[in-house]
Structure 1
């Protein structure tokens, strides 16, 4: 046998082996193989993993106490990170202290670098005390400066609080409020849509009319009306869960219609009839036979719905109707940039918007990848 024939035989065997793997692979494995081919989806997934790690351990990643204010640094601009000083290049980055002067004509605060005070940026430094996952105390932070120095990577707000640390803390609420809302939407959509599509008749008629009424109401005014009903004296935790419920109040309608349409097309299939003849209960038919047949599509749909939840929370908090101070979310942080004067004097207060955009884009990339992977036999 010639060398060329051996190569062709090896290639053919490899092709046959791959085909056999595809034929015997489970639906979830096929989805994973297809999902890995989407580079943007993988990138979005990595970004989301990083954000959720930050959300869980935000106290560790934040270099400063997000609630501590300092009138000496009101609306201070972001500090520059240096590697070079008058003595030459340094491997360890550092920042200079700020010194503040007031313009006698405009009364504007002017911050300049005080090169007589240099603070090296170090990893795993000791700072303000916090509780890891609310369980045990620690004062170790990923990075920071020691002594009486400050590091303001994103500048400070109108009360002299570190914007970077507040953005890190805001990650926890802004990225999880979507998950809580989606979980509630998932429950409502599956149960209500399943009952509507499987049983039909008066149930279907009533449920579809309710869905049409809810979908006909403008989303933002409805959210505003429901948020305004939340008592102002509630704790941040109660408000957080109230906003999650509000965001899911009409979020379930799209999923319910999708589930209903799937149930209408599948309830007369042979496998459903066989399950009924075998004595399966209605609940078993729905949850063991119908739902698993298109669960991958539901997951993809829910992933694409999370960004709307995040944007909804941000919009409500920006308008003062969502999460309220002292709780920290990206929407609460953007409140400081509501007027043109603040934006003109301190444009760094708009930096939380970039994080909202990045997370929303990442969820859309992952959702698109899951939607394509949900049909692994296509193309």
Structure 2
């Protein structure tokens, strides 16, 4: 019988039942061909014509037998004894993990007290050489006073901040929405930072019970549109592609996308760790940001941002902008020291942000005739 999975042809008409009857009644393949005249007397369905099928398909039968036979005489370099589980060479593992920057596995070995001093030193030097030579950024803990952040609920305060944004050489910008999917996300608020520690949140769509009156979203966007679409007004954000895509749904084509801390971190040291803002803040600022789960909860009962009270939402949102600006100041100061990194960041990564945003929103037109 054949096996389609292993591409073994077999003999037509021979399935499980027929093969069992042949094996039990006569024997293996060699005996079958020596006793073809005895097959008809076995009495299974199709036994009278089976001998002819075996004769007509003898080549396939022999080939199938050969293909299905497990070879036991293959010469192997390894011996059974060499395949037995043995104690790992921890010094070699430490060196290898260091070279390949397998940090978690390396830490497991080191925390267990494994490895000689020489191996640990080699692992450290391998890690340093395999990652960017600029990855050793000096970091110092920052102190962030969230009580200094502003929540903007009236036109006078908003207009005052509008003038600050216009006068700023660079400002950090972030959107707060009710979904991570920019295609359906509704804008709930916007945050800005013009200097380290100087940040504000503009809520426009918090709708929980007893939420305070907020500025009209359309009015706010109308006032911000000239600045957000001003190519000469430099902006920095964390994953600005998302913010640009959200704003596009409200008729704003964001320009002046000068810096992005997520991309800056990746260019600076792609293997240094995660590139989300909370991870970057811990790594470069030694600061623990307010996490979304802290204010929204977890699981199926997690709130969307519009349901979060301003007492919690405002410090969270303003901190996003403040921390983004602080991260930019540290990351870019190191990137610009290396012309190659600076070139990749400024000439490749950043110009692609608005392009990718447009592609993701509108798709790509493909000439199927040309491709065919």
Q: TM-score range, shorter-chain basis?
A: under 0.3
Rg comparison, structure with higher value:
2
Higher normalized strand content (fraction of residues): 1
Give the number of the structure whose residues are more often helix, by fraction: 1
Ranked by relative contact order (alpha carbons within 8 Å, sequence separation 6 or more), the top structure is 1
TM-score (norm 2): 0.22
The normalised TM-score by structure 1 is 0.22
